[in-house]
Amino acid sequence: MFIVVSLTLEASNLSSQPTGSATNYVEPHDSTPTNEVSLRIKPLPPSIQEVSLTMSNTGQRRFLVLYVDGTEAELSPEGFAELLHTHAAGKSLIFRFLNITSSAGIAWVILGLAGQIAFAGRMVLQWILSEHNKRSVVPVGFWWMSLAGASMLLVYFIWRRDIVGVLGQSTGWLIYTRNLWLIYCERLSVLSLASTKDPNPTS
């Protein structure tokens, strides 16, 4: 079983060793004996609140694990890898299939699937109406379903922290909104024009 861990260093206190060394080290800080680098790890077991990378007195890197109950544990790289492996192996099949770490993730996946269904449904709607009219037709419902699908998928990709999905759906969201604005502005103009040409206006 392979575990992919995404690490994001959120501190700038790591620097390279002098020329001639192929490794990196943590430069000691004047006020504290060791430096701590906060790590963003995904997926992270629900029982763990935060993980930091520290340097022990012997010069070895250690993972400082802070649990949600307030307890801490200092683990070697091998011990931390074993902790993640145990968590991944203990997840149910559906959690591994959906790539989620908690039951709340199922609701997010359902939201994303609903967005995809709306996206697929808009094309089915457009195809049915085009076949019915024997010409290419883009109904207003096409743009409403596009907007609904883009909104759901945008929220889903933000939760997933997927920058590609966020950029793609946010651009489409603006286009769908603009098309709806133009459609309803045109309808209001037609209604306004029809009311001014009414030969028997109501008093």
> Sheet containing 36-39: which strands, arranged edge to edge?
36-39, 48-55, 61-67, 72-75
Cis peptide before 43 (omega within 30 of 0): yes
Q: How far apart are CA 81 and CA 76, in angstroms?
A: 9
The model's pTM: 0.57
Q: How far apart are CA 33 and CA 87, in angstroms?
A: 32
How much is the pLDDT for 23? 37
Helix (H) / strand (E) element for 13: namely none
> What are the 10-residue block averages of pLDDT along the chain, 203 residues in total?
42 41 39 61 73 81 84 84 71 75 85 96 96 94 96 94 92 94 90 73 53
Q: How far apart are CA 145 and CA 165, in angstroms?
A: 18
How much is the pLDDT for 74? 83
In the chain, the N- to C-terminal Cα span, in Å, equals 79
Q: How far apart are CA 150 and CA 142, in angstroms?
A: 12
User: Residue 172: which of 110, 115, 128, 125 has the closest Cα?
Assistant: 115
What are the residues whose beta carbons fall under 8 Å from the beta carbon of 112, sequence distance 6 or more? 152, 153, 156, 157, 160
Do 116 and 168 meet the contact criterion of CB atoms below 8 Å apart?
Answer: no
